[in-house]
Amino acid sequence: MDKPYGEEKDRSSAPDFEELSRNVARLIEGASQATAAYLKPLQEQQIPPGLSNDAAEIVKSLGRVAETWMKDPQKSFEAQSRLGTDFIHLWSSTLMRAQGQATEPVAKPEPKDNRFQDPEWSENLVFDFIKQAYLITTRWAGWLVENAEGLDERTRHKAEFYLKQLSSALSPSNFLMTNPELIRETMKENGANLVRGMAMLAEDIQAGGGELKIRQTDPGNFQIGVNIATTPGKVIFRNELMELIQYAPTTEQVLKRPLLIVPPWINKFYILDLNPEKSFIRWAVSQGLTVFCISWVNPDAQHAEKGFEHYMREGIFAALDAIEEATGEKKVTAIGYCVGGTLLAVTLAYMAAKRDKRIESATFFTAQVDFTHAGDLKVFADEEQIRTVEASMKKRGYLEGRNMANAFNMLRPNDLIWSNVVNVYMKGRKPLPFDLLYWNSDSTRMPAANHAFYLRNCYLQNKLAKGEMEVGGVRLDLSKIKVPIFNLATKEDHIAPARSVFVGSKLFGGPVEYVLAGSGHIAGVVNAPAKPKYQHWTGGPVEGGLEEWMSKATETPGSWWPYWFSWTKEQAPKMVPAREPGGGKLEPLCDAPGTYVLAKS
């Protein structure tokens, strides 16, 4: 039976060479199967091998850095001397250790770096040298990018991002012969770990249609609607783009004003309903809110022309109409998460222009409206790359789900890519079941028109912030939005950085409550009060810079959820008897979580 991460096998360290030989033969056979799985789609589509667009971007960006240093021979010599000096210190330290003298490391891993935790990385002279040489070299390369003179900030950002990818990929922890833990494990198992890993590699390449779909968790342990996304409710409305779920109440009285959640379509909505302990939706219901949530369709070719206006009209507006039919209420509180928040801001600006007042207060979870300081995903959004994406989407009518999944994984390569490569494909261990990683791997496609609009108008041209974006024939002005705003950012967010959300807060025309949560884009949002992991900061008006705001803000341990609910209740405190799904004019279509969420990419 395959063993999960962390489970050790009791074997002697001496290998059985006969078994090792058999496993080498099996490994070669498995490698052939993995290669065949990779080559099959290329052969079927007659695609010639060549340099990928990503590889070309890496070469171009890092080449620009090299050019800036080579222009000045003196500075180039000083940079090389800096690296040489560090290696002289490393050689000296290593020789002293070889003679039995105690020395301090020349380069230490960061405290949160889990790649070099095995004691042999420090105790074994050879592996300690390899580790430190890697750290010295990658940090020197990072210094070159940071200190390259005359480099525009966009190119510097791209170079930093791509260097992080290369540094993560070339870590000695990723290779059998330079990782003491992998060598030890392979000897103990006579190579059986590599055979298991190769078999899973072939399976995952096949599952990815010729591209590796990295196994991050064991999907067999999860079933949507059974042990994930289980909050009771009913789908009360469905159209081409979304299903609307109304959740069953758990209190006798509820707030009169319903809550509409607009999740991102880049991922599936159940990030807010992972399990009963982590579910924001379940918790909101328990506080006395009538919760409605959009579940977006996983689009295909027939949705190619669905753009932002369609998502506004057939998404948010259709949901508002359905909520009125279900509850009799014309006015709602709304939440928009990530790109769902960007869509909500677009919708609010459109509604302000049309004097439509059905949304009376709005909350944004890690959502951007100003993309000046957008996160690492901005690396993929220059004119040339967007044209490449548009050309690819034109062939199918949508962006493949794995494209965005790969981009998100690249934001944390050590945690989401290489740790899994080592544990699954080299140690041969099936990953432990983890609901968050199951959701992360349950990717969705994007309609061509929608995604192209988003990339060009937001990431590339920042039109929403500039007041230049047009939707449905209306030029959008965020300053016309006067409803109260609760704007949540997270401190370590690489997708919607806290600074970006803070700057965007200044564009709204009404009162804004900016709140900063600990951790990142997902964990900072999914931080339940029952088991809080992170703190949050609250403060006064959104003025000055983020650092200035932080210096005056109040830090509170634990979840921000109760603070948000108090803010929400203050907007409309009136209570009414609880509403059951299907109690209004709309008959339930099926049980939550519905059917759209089940579609795989």
pLDDT digits (tens, 9 = 90+) for 110-120: 998 999 999 99
Can you give the pLDDT at residue 7? 44
pLDDT digits (tens, 9 = 90+) for 399-448: 998 888 888 888 888 888 999 999 999 999 999 899 999 999 898 999 99
CA 401-402-407 angle, to 5 degrees, is 110
Calpha distance 520→499 (Å, rounded): 13
Contacts of 268 (CB under 8 A, 6+ apart): 295, 296, 298, 439, 442, 444, 597
pLDDT digits (tens, 9 = 90+) for 263-309: 999 999 999 999 999 999 999 999 999 999 999 999 999 999 999 99
Q: pTM of this prediction?
A: 0.90
Q: Rounded to the nearest 5°, which phi and psi values hold at 125? A: -60, -40
Calpha distance 453→346 (Å, rounded): 12
Confidence band of 38 (pLDDT split at 50, 70, 90): low
Give long-range contacts, CB 8 A cutoff, 24+ apart: 537-545: 538/513, 538/563, 539/514, 541/512, 542/487, 542/502, 542/505, 542/506, 542/512, 542/514, 545/502
Residue 366 contacts residue 502 (beta carbons within 8 Å): no
- Please report the domains of the chain, with CATH numbers, ordered by start residue: 52-174 (no CATH), 233-396+441-598 (3.40.50.1820)
Tally of CA atoms within 13 A in the half-sphere of 332 that contains its CB: 30
Can you give the pLDDT at residue 13? 59
* Percent of the chain with pLDDT strictly greater than 70: 95
3-state class of 91 per DSSP? helix
Calpha distance 498→521 (Å, rounded): 10
Residue 248 tokens read as: 């069953």
Q: Which of 293, 338, 458, 590 is catalytic?
A: 338
Q: Is 590 a catalytic residue?
A: no
Q: Are strands 512-517 and 398-399 parallel, antiparallel or unpaired?
A: unpaired
Residue 361 tokens read as: 């207060």
What is the overall mean pLDDT for the chain? 91
Give the residue among 373, 368, 360 at the shortest CA–CA distance from 337: 368
The residue among 23 and 59 whose pLDDT is bigger is 59
Can you give the pLDDT at residue 46? 45
pLDDT digits (tens, 9 = 90+) for 231-261: 999 999 999 999 999 999 999 999 999 999 9
pLDDT digits (tens, 9 = 90+) for 459-471: 999 999 999 999 9
- Which ranges in 370-424 belong to alpha helices (H)? 383-396, 401-410, 413, 419-420
Calpha distance 255→328 (Å, rounded): 13
Does residue 4 surpass a pLDDT of 60? no
Can you give the pLDDT at residue 98? 93
